[in-house]
Amino acid sequence: KQEVTQIPAALSVPEGENLVLNCSFTDSAIYNLQWFRQDPGKGLTSLLLIQSSQREQTSGRLNASLDKSSGRSTLYIAASQPGDSATYLCAVRGSGNTGFQKLVFGTGTRLLVSP
């Protein structure tokens, strides 16, 4: 059974810092991995999607990497801003006959960026 862990659970940084959020998963047979942000009381906004054959994806100040063999992904946020404050969720879609039907989510990292 796939399990997804995100460390740290919470992170507080001053504005301008570069930071890394971590995601680990127990079963390396994945189809893709997706990073989301969730603002309080709001839905999930997709940030980056990495297919299993890819090593990284970039969008603006965000860079996500994937190391399937070690079961790890990182989300790198450059030059953090107060508007980046949110909960960041990592989700894995499995491969094979029984894994692709759902995303398995971590419990998230709550990020606070102070001005």
Partner 1 sequence: EAQVTQNPRYLITVTGKKLTVTCSQNMNHEYMSWYRQDPGLGLRQIYYSMNVEVTDKGDVPEGYKVSRKEKRNFPLILESPSPNQTSLYFCASSSWGQGFTEAFFGQGTRLTVV
Residues binding partner 1 (CB under 8 A):
31-32, 34, 36, 41-46, 49, 89, 91, 93, 100-103, 105-108
Of the two residues 10 and 100, which places its CB atom closer to partner 1 in the complex? 100
**In the complex, least distance from residue 14 CB atom to partner 1, rounded to whole angstroms:** 28
Of the two residues 13 and 52, which places its CB atom closer to partner 1 in the complex? 52
**In the complex, least distance from residue 80 CB atom to partner 1, rounded to whole angstroms:** 24
**In the complex, least distance from residue 57 CB atom to partner 1, rounded to whole angstroms:** 11
The secondary structure of the chain, three-state, reads CCCEEEECCEEEEECCCCEEEEEEECCCCEEEEEEEEECCCCCEEEEEEEECCCCEEEECCEEEEEECCCCEEEEEECCCCHHHCEEEEEEEEECCCCCCCCEEECCCEEEEEEC
Of the two residues 43 and 60, which places its CB atom closer to partner 1 in the complex? 43
